[in-house]
Amino acid sequence: MILSLHPINPEKRKLQQISDKLLEGNVYIFPTDTVYALVADSQSKLGVERLYELKNISKNQPLSLVCPNISVASNYIENLPNEAFRLMKKLTPGPFTFIIRANKHLPRVSFSNQKEKQIGIRIPDAIYLQELMKMHPNPLTSTSVFTNDEFIIKVESLEEIYGSRVEGIIDGGIVDIELSTILDVTGDKMIVLREGKGSDLL
């Protein structure tokens, strides 16, 4: 089911309904500031298991933790060097994935299968996700929509493939194919693991 939200002032009633459904273990597809992504509540075991099933990937494959801002993200970070903090402050919200060392507060249902306590944190510049997270009690867990070796950029194509398998697909129009830039900030110096959207800002 394709869902439409106002592009400037997303309806709070609709967002609250989505939030409630996420807490029940449902999965949605949201547009981000890069590609479309499968999204679940980070504390929902059912929702996270459905993410893996929909993406058809091993539970050892990493997922991303989506947060509204650095303040919320810091609740899950073991240690963030000053340089990395300044970088995150400069670049977020934006199309970046920050690889960080996670602390004991990391949602176990989302990340218990990962051997190393390192996760990717996303703080996307995407109005629908940002407005949803203002009312949703937990960070979100997400993974990009990738089918048959291709990123799906049209909401109509998403409906054909996932319409009966997810609770809803948020219409964000045609999105970019460009992926996020991945930055490893676990050490004293930042390392660029993948150049993507926004890499020109580094």
- For the stretch 75-118, pLDDT in tens is 999 988 888 899 999 999 999 999 999 998 888 877 766 656 88
The residues, any chain, with a CB within 8 Å of residue 103's CB and separated by 6 or more, are 76, 77, 78, 117
pLDDT of residue 115: 59
pLDDT of residue 178: 85
pLDDT of residue 113: 65
Positions of the chain with pLDDT under 50: none
pLDDT of residue 148: 67
Q: Domains in the chain, start-ordered, CATH in brackets? A: 2-201 (3.90.870.10)
User: What whole-number distance in Å separates Cα of residue 44 and Cα of residue 60?
Assistant: 17
pLDDT of residue 147: 73
pLDDT of residue 116: 65
User: What whole-number distance in Å separates Cα of residue 180 and Cα of residue 183?
Assistant: 9
The residues, any chain, with a CB within 8 Å of residue 80's CB and separated by 6 or more, are 74, 88, 100, 185
